[in-house]
Amino acid sequence: MTDISSNALSKQIANLNHAIGKPLTEITRWFVLNPEVFFGEYNYGPDEFIMYNSGLTQFEFGKERHHTYVVDGEQLSLEIIDDYDIDEEFDIPYKLSEYSPVPSSFKACLGKVCQDVRIWKCKEALNGGERGEAGISYVFENGEEIFYCIYLHGELDSDFLLTRDQIDTSKVDSYYSLREAKEVIC
């Protein structure tokens, strides 16, 4: 049986619910690889740095509420954490509102009200016994949906910040909608 951490997304429903009805004020990502190193190692365009560089990710909904995510690779899952001891030598913060270039679909969500939070499960984990809470997404009043996820994009060992159209739906088993308080099978 899978050990369910108290930081598992499914154990943090009350905490995650606080985002619904509040505007997104910032997304911050902490990376070990700065742009120069990242673009030297990977073949991505300039506006893909924030999306495809792996690292801790925080969604902020005002000064009182934020959700910070890390990867639990053994469980093919994300976890939410309260505090993170940032290593200033290695972890460089990049704020969506300040970094450029960033795809307009991400910037368009800043200041928009969150209408739903969804926890996404991947098919492969369910077959292997892992928890498989491989993604979290926020749905905004402008119709945009931003994902922070592993595996749902086709790469097992990378955590990315993506939009709905970049998700490989063949990897998805289901998602749990906090607004609707129900699981939706995909």
Q: Which residue has the tokens 């009805």?
A: 21
Give the tokens for residue 154: 């086709």
Domain boundaries, the chain: 9-185
Token pair, residue 61, equals: 């909904």
Up-side HSE of residue 70: CA atoms within 13 Å toward CB?
Answer: 10
pLDDT at residue number 1: 36
Looking at residue 113, the DSSP 8-state letter turns out to be: B
Predicted TM-score of the model (pTM)? 0.92
Task: Print burial letters for 31-40: b (CB count within 10 Å at least 16), e (below 16).
Answer: bebeeeebbe
pLDDT in tens, the chain (186 residues): 345 688 999 999 999 999 999 999 999 999 888 999 999 999 999 999 999 999 889 999 988 788 999 888 777 789 998 766 666 655 788 999 999 999 999 999 999 999 999 999 998 766 666 788 999 999 999 999 999 999 898 776 789 999 999 999 999 999 999 999 999 998
